[in-house]
């Protein structure tokens, strides 16, 4: 005969006891927040007074929460300029990266927060690093032309590649931002550069099927401009690398500067 039939009350009591124990163990972890986590939350919500209070209590401005987020990154993502200023004054590292590899200026660029991009750049934020999602790539992804112009004027590498070799021009085309693509091309972005999946900006333009005739016409302009740039600017004609049979659209991940 099954144990639970012989001792039904004992089994039920044991189950209740285990459930209570599990809840008791889980609740503190779920509810309690570390000081660093409190700082990140306050920064994300632009609670400037709370940020100041936590800093006075000794929380380090570059402390990270359980997900590897910094307060500066959270404030930049949210467009919280006042909090940014408080954190910088407290000594927050302007180029400190999150666990996912993003800097505050890159996250501000992705969100279209031009004032914060300028503030962080003035504070010394770097524009480029090898094989990263740079501020310029993120700005192009969001179609933020004013930020793209500013970053290019500041000396950002217009053909810098992400971890998989994707450039700002590729992302502007992929995310269907015609004016951003044309702006980058006017600044000599290379439409023939290939990412790690052997795709160029021209390939993304061809693959972006859209019923809008206006957008289709703009894409044709990208293609023509790209070919003209290739003939005029390339000192040596090189044979194109062999294309993969599939040319999978999975070649580029969408930047997820927000929470993954």
Could you write out the DSSP letters of every residue in 182-230? HHHHHTT--TT---TTS--HHHHHHH---S-HHHHHHHHHHHHHHHHHH
Report pLDDT for 209. Answer: 63
Report pLDDT for 172. Answer: 95
Torsion, Cα of 34, 37, 43, 48 (10° steps): -10
Return the CATH fold of 30-126. Answer: 1.25.40
pTM of the full structure: 0.73
Residue spans in the chain of domains classed CATH 1.25.40.20? 30-126, 127-238
Rounded to an integer, what distance in angstroms lies between the CA atom of residue 145 and that of residue 69?
Answer: 27
Report pLDDT for 131. Answer: 78
Rounded to an integer, what distance in angstroms lies between the CA atom of residue 200 and that of residue 218?
Answer: 17
pLDDT beneath 50, residues of the chain: 2-7, 11, 20-21, 23-31, 211-214, 216, 229-251, 259-260
Report pLDDT for 57. Answer: 96
Report pLDDT for 205. Answer: 85
Indicate the CATH number for domain 127-238.
1.25.40.20
Report pLDDT for 239. Answer: 36
Report pLDDT for 108. Answer: 98
């Amino acid at each position: 005969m099954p144990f639970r039939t012989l001792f039904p009350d004992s089994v039920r009591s044991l189950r209740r006891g285990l459930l209570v124990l599990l809840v008791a163990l889980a609740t503190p972890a779920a509810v309690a927040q570390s000081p660093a986590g409190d700082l990140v939350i306050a920064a994300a919500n632009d609670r400037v007074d709370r940020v100041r209070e936590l800093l006075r209590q000794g929380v380090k401005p570059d402390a990270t929460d359980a997900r590897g987020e910094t307060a500066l990154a959270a404030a930049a993502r949210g467009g919280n300029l006042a909090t940014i200023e408080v954190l910088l004054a407290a000594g927050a590292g302007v180029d400190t990266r999150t666990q996912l590899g993003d800097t505050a200026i890159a996250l501000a660029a992705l969100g279209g927060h031009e004032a914060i991009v300028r503030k962080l750049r003035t504070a010394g934020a770097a524009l480029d690093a090898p094989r990263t999602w740079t501020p310029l790539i993120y700005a192009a992804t969001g179609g933020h032309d004013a930020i793209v112009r500013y970053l290019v004027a500041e000396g950002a590498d217009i053909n810098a590649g992400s971890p998989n070799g994707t450039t700002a021009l590729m992302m502007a085309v992929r995310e269907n931002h015609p004016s951003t693509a044309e702006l980058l091309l006017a600044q000599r972005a290379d439409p023939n550069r290939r990412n790690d999946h052997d795709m160029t900006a021209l390939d993304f333009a061809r693959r972006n099927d859209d019923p809008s005739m206006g957008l289709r016409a703009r894409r044709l302009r990208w293609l023509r401009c790209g070919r003209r740039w290739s003939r005029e600017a390339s000192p040596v004609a090189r044979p194109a690398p062999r294309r993969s049979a599939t040319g999978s659209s999975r070649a580029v991940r969408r930047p997820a500067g927000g929470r993954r």
